Amino acid sequence: MHVTVKGKQIEVGDALRDHVESALTASVSKYFSNPLESQIVFTREAHLFRADVSVHVGRSILVQGQGLAADAYAAGDAAIEHVAKRLRRHKRRLRDHHKERDSKVEALTAQAYVLAAEADDDTPPGDEVGAVAAGGDGPAVVAEMTTEILTLSVGEAVMRLDLGDQPALLFRHAGHGGLNLVYRRPDGNIGWIDPQLTAATPAPPKRSDSRK
């Protein structure tokens, strides 16, 4: 597995680099035999260090973990353990997916956009970044990229949502091909939206009054 270690506005020394590369490789290899690549990024948050780990363990399967601690080594170890915990939770399903489904997952290419947050009322005109989204008065588009909408079962979609620590995941339902959404609810549970409409149930016939 290729591991990239870098820092944002902080120096990452060889000792820290070697430590997290070794720890991450050993941790991931316990649960997945041939991961593709991974990255760990160190940043500062006030007086603490933050480590963000991303591991690609298969096609479009991204596992993410974060750690926050008083020193960079502890932050890196916490982030790696976060990834390991998610891999443990989905170990069997990941192995089954790798053996049977990895080359068969269908994907629909789509365009994804990052929209600017709503500006304050006192923001001078012309300070917006990028083009305005379709519709005239919509928010500014600050980035655009190509993404994939995969064809998955609901269980697979929930697994990918959890592994990637994502707030929501749009996918095509493997059963009927329609677009579905799974998302993380404020109460910690997972919501599932399936817009497939069932045929309307016919209204029951009016009962005649035999007393007339």
* Residue-range domain boundaries for the chain: 2-99, 106-193
Mean pLDDT of 11-31: 92
Regarding the domain delimited by 2-99, which CATH topology (the fold level of the hierarchy) does it fall under? Answer: Double Stranded RNA Binding Domain (3.30.160)
Contact 174, 152 (CB under 8 A): yes
Q: What local confidence, expressed as pLDDT, does residue 2 receive? A: 87
Rounded average pLDDT over 32-47: 87
Angle, CA of 27, 29 and 33, to the nearest 5°: 160
pLDDT value of position 200:
47
Mean pLDDT, rounded, for 160-170: 90
Q: Residue 132: what pLDDT?
A: 54
* Angle, vertex CA 24, rays to CA 27 and CA 11, nearest 5: 160
pLDDT at 126 exceeding the cut of 60: no
In this prediction, residues 30-40 reach a mean pLDDT of 82
Interval 55-103: pLDDT, tens: 988 767 889 999 999 999 999 999 999 999 999 988 877 766 655 554 4
CATH architecture type of domain 106-193: 2-Layer Sandwich (3.30)
